[in-house]
Structure 1
Amino acid sequence: MVNKKDEKGISVEKSKDISEWYTQVLQKAELADYAPIKGFMIIRPRAYYIWEKIQKEFDKVLERLKVKNTYFPLLIPENFFKKEAEHAEGFAPELAYIEGKEEGERLALRPTSETIMYDSYSKWIRSWRDLPLKLNQWANVIRWEVKQTKPFLRTREFLWQEGHCVFETEKEAREDMEKMALEYQKLVEGLLAVPLIVGKKSEAERFPGARETMTIEAFMPDGKALQCGTSHNLGQGFAKSFDVKFLDKNEKESYGWQTSWGFSTRLIGAMIMQHGDDKGLVLPPAVAREKVVIVPILFEDSREKVLNKAKEIEKSLKKWNAKVDDREEYKPGFKFSEHEMNGVPIRIEIGPKDLEKKTVVLVRRDTGDKELVKMSGIEKRVEKVLEEIQESLLEKAKKFLEGSISEAKDMDELKKELNKKKIVKVYMKDDKEVEGNVKDQTEGATSRIIEETKKEGECIVSGEKVNTVAYIAKAY
């Protein structure tokens, strides 16, 4: 990565080289760094604060839905993965093992926790009275990626939450899958201002071992989709493999109906890439630690008066964690650039002339707009502008997403639209072989969601009449 001290600003334009731009923002805004082990990252405090905010907000959702937090071991016996064939096959390439010499069996580092959790569920659940069982864990997972890694977007270790529920009926499980996908959408759009496409995964793309998978997908400025979270209806497959059963109200033995759902620190990568600009990071106020920075413009003859007023304003804006940048070794211009790089939503400038007029200059990070604000009305104005920034970031990103969706009727058209960095809607049969054909012909594009339509159309590959439309895009 580029050293922050080498250059003050970003040396590339986001629109010209988003990959290098992203790498520089991560380093210079002190969000992440590379670890000494390939494919791993260090999450620095500014980014970890964002993750803590996400956790805090989602814990409120869990509390409302009566889901309890828990923790299961990082190490999973190899034989657990062999119990559910499709699941085992899906995760086999990504499993990392440690040699458990004393145990005589290899132990896998957790890629996801279905297997180890359901082993316990089979012991805990006896009767319909034990249901629903709804647990969540905040944890790290290890997936031995062979693709090129990029902090937050694709790493061998990441932080996430995973919810695992057992219900009496199929209906409850299906409703839970749908509800959690929508809760994810509310969380991500409300907190991170990243708009999402929500829908079902195709047969080829769904979670190994699931009957149905719902996904939340963001679309990045480089024309790639980013899966930000998934919610699965597992049916009874895992319940049968792990003996998760109960006596129903008629004293008959029945297998549980299960769901699992999760999102990860990938959300932070989506937010950085969605909102950032050529000056650096742009933070939605909802996840900014310091929402306001106050930069005093100091001259020797008015230094003390200006500083005192700046500190007075800092106190009045305490609820937004306002901070006075009174470092004397740096000029105001340097401070402006640094706080822009770090994504602080509002900058307030105050100098001797402002003292005379009893005003300050308020600058928005997202648009760069400046306005004069009376000192007497500063609290109300700051509150209003922070709300406007949060709304504006989401609206701007929504317009980009809506403008990025196009349609194609044949393969040539699909390729042309993908080259224009679009998400392309096509009629496509929900079939692994058909989707494999699309992937081969488009050099790796996949369906992000698939939805049923009333109107029939011709499958882009087979030509047969279908009523399923796929959203095709390149993806991270």
Structure 2
Amino acid sequence: MTNQLTKRSQDYSKWYNEIVIKSGLAEFSGIRGFMIIKPYGYSLWEIMKEKLDQMLKKSGHENVYFPLLIPKSIFSKEKKHTKILSEGCAVVTHYKLIKNKKKEFIIDKESRLEEELVIRPTSESIIWKTYKNWIQSYRDLPILLNQWGNVLRWEMRTRLFLRTNEFLWQEGHTAHSTQEEAIEEAEKILNIYTNFSEKILGIPVLQGIKPHTDKFYGSEKTYCIEAIMQDGKSLQIGTSHFLGQNFSKAFDVQFTNKNGKKEYVWSTSWGVSTRLIGGLIMTHSDDKGLILPPKVAPIQIVIIPIYQNKEKFDIIDDMVKKIVKIFEKEKIRVKYDNIKTLTPGWKFHEYEMKGVPIRINIGEDEVENKKVEVFRRDTREKMYLSWIDLKSSIIELLDNIQKNIYKKALDRTQKFLIKSDSYQDFKKIINNHGGFVLAHWDGTKNTVKKIQEETEATIRCIPFAFEREKGKCIYSGKPSFQRVIFSKSY
């Protein structure tokens, strides 16, 4: 396999898969739809997880863990929820394997379970079954819980990180005494996700609400954040659902209010997943490999010694170790790559592919002149920094790289945000340019279906950032009271 990546302009999908594999984030497992997240990719996920977890805990949420397997009778309680999720469920029917005469393992038919168990595609059902035991009075509310784990949903078409049968995620599940409090919670989470995406991942997003034709089954409202990728397609970054009283009624979860009357509990659920890693790749990376925002990069700085003999190496090694201590004291994630069996040129390419924000090269000249050669991954610029000012210069540079990566993505997003009032114009934009197309919609499922059949574009959200305005549906010509965001999507 060549070290060169396929160019984005040539084959965007192939470019994406090559980056995932060549940068060491993940690889195919040999089981369709399942991937292996490699150490570098898992380190990235751990950092993302840690930062989002801190934000959720700061807002009053606690972590919890519920079972992976859900009895089918419990899973089936909320009918609208079950209807859609059941189409992609994996179900455990037996609990034992035995050997046949050919010494092959087969299912022991005698070990059939009394009740089949669904491998969780999401946890609303098992959690609300539990909440029935936990909630009796208004004093028991609110409950603000979050779970980190994995889920399983069968997918027809799979792509590393973006759409896999099994994926890692967090799912929040909250219970409230009033409708207003639950809606406020769902909106608060949407803002947390937005801040995380923009300030930590450097991914600009549009906030909005899903149309009634595309909301989460079992919810009253689905809030979402959408991001535009470099190829002009949209990626749903996260969702937050106001569930109303649908699950509390399905599981008969009631509480006694302050007036002594029984009421059904109000609720929310919300989540983001390892899909974020796919979004990170497609938002920032280039034809040379990954570009990672410093705030989540597993390695923020790599230091590479350049020498010709052992005597020179010892001098360089002493200087590098002093620099490493300075960075580690500042809690900067630094790697000193002094492996002697690999050439500097190989290392340059490797860390560029991995998207390490800053590479520092130190050779004989650098030691003598008390300076270092610095390469920044986002712009591919080289500069020299003095040994004296190195700590402050590097901290400032990391901050500048984070800001530059976000600004570049924000500028692209704004260029991809286009208004359209003509269906012919709309089709040209979607097919030739891509992006977020702001257009009027008559509110019917039939119109959405026709537009998708003809252009592959769907409604991504009804955006909050734009005021409602009257107009005519771009497809049917019928009255419309607002523009929605259309886009092709992942």
Structures share a fold, TM > 0.5? yes
> Counterpart amino acid of 2:230?
P
- Which has the higher mean CA deviation after the structures are superposed, 220-229 or 297-306? 297-306
C-alpha displacement at 1:133, in angstroms? 1.2
C-alpha displacement at 1:306, in angstroms? 2.3
Q: For 1:80-159, what aligned pairs fall within 5 Å after superposition?
A: 80-100=74-94, 102-146=112-156, 148-159=157-168
| Separation in 1, partners of 2:233, 2:72 | 35
Residue of structure 2 equivalent to 1:210 = 219
Residue of structure 2 equivalent to 1:3 = none
> Counterpart amino acid of 1:126?
Q
> Counterpart amino acid of 1:284?
P
Q: What value does the CA root-mean-square deviation take over the aligned residues?
A: 1.5
Residue of structure 1 equivalent to 2:454 = 441
C-alpha displacement at 1:45, in angstroms? 1.3
1:200, 1:213 within 8 Å by CA — same for their partners in 2? Answer: yes
1:469 has 2:483 as partner: yes
Q: Normalising by structure 2, what TM-score?
A: 0.93
Residue of structure 1 equivalent to 2:254 = 245
The 3-state SS of whatever aligns with 1:258 is strand
Residue of structure 2 equivalent to 1:424 = 437
Seq. identity, %: 41
C-alpha displacement at 1:379, in angstroms? 0.7
2:147, 2:172 within 8 Å by CA — same for their partners in 1? Answer: yes
C-alpha displacement at 1:102, in angstroms? 4.7
1:166, 1:173 within 8 Å by CA — same for their partners in 2? Answer: yes
Which of the residues 59, 64, 89 maps onto 1:65?
Answer: 59
Residue of structure 2 equivalent to 1:357 = 369
Residue of structure 1 equivalent to 2:100 = none
> Counterpart amino acid of 1:215?
C
> Counterpart amino acid of 1:474?
K
The 3-state SS of whatever aligns with 1:279 is coil
Residue of structure 2 equivalent to 1:344 = 356
| Separation in 2, partners of 1:381, 1:235 | 51
The 3-state SS of whatever aligns with 2:295 is helix
| Separation in 1, partners of 2:248, 2:264 | 6
Residue of structure 2 equivalent to 1:169 = 178
| Separation in 2, partners of 1:332, 1:124 | 60
The 3-state SS of whatever aligns with 2:44 is helix
1:41 has 2:35 as partner: yes
C-alpha displacement at 1:29, in angstroms? 1.0
| Separation in 1, partners of 2:132, 2:15 | 49
Cα 1:255/1:370, change in 2 over 3 Å: same
2:234, 2:435 within 8 Å by CA — same for their partners in 1? Answer: no
1:11 has 2:5 as partner: yes
- Which has the higher mean CA deviation after the structures are superposed, 416-425 or 9-18? 9-18
Q: Runs of 5+ in structure 1 lacking a partner?
A: 1-5
> Counterpart amino acid of 2:186?
M
1:203, 1:431 within 8 Å by CA — same for their partners in 2? Answer: no
> Counterpart amino acid of 1:19?
S
1:246, 1:253 within 8 Å by CA — same for their partners in 2? Answer: yes
> Counterpart amino acid of 1:133?
I
Cα 1:80/1:462, change in 2 over 3 Å: farther
1:453, 1:467 within 8 Å by CA — same for their partners in 2? Answer: no
1:134, 1:164 within 8 Å by CA — same for their partners in 2? Answer: yes
- How many residues are treated as equivalent by the alignment? 468
| Separation in 2, partners of 1:303, 1:53 | 33
2:219, 2:241 within 8 Å by CA — same for their partners in 1? Answer: yes
The 3-state SS of whatever aligns with 1:310 is helix
Q: For 1:443-462, what aligned pairs fall within 5 Å after superposition?
A: 444-451=456-463, 453-462=467-476
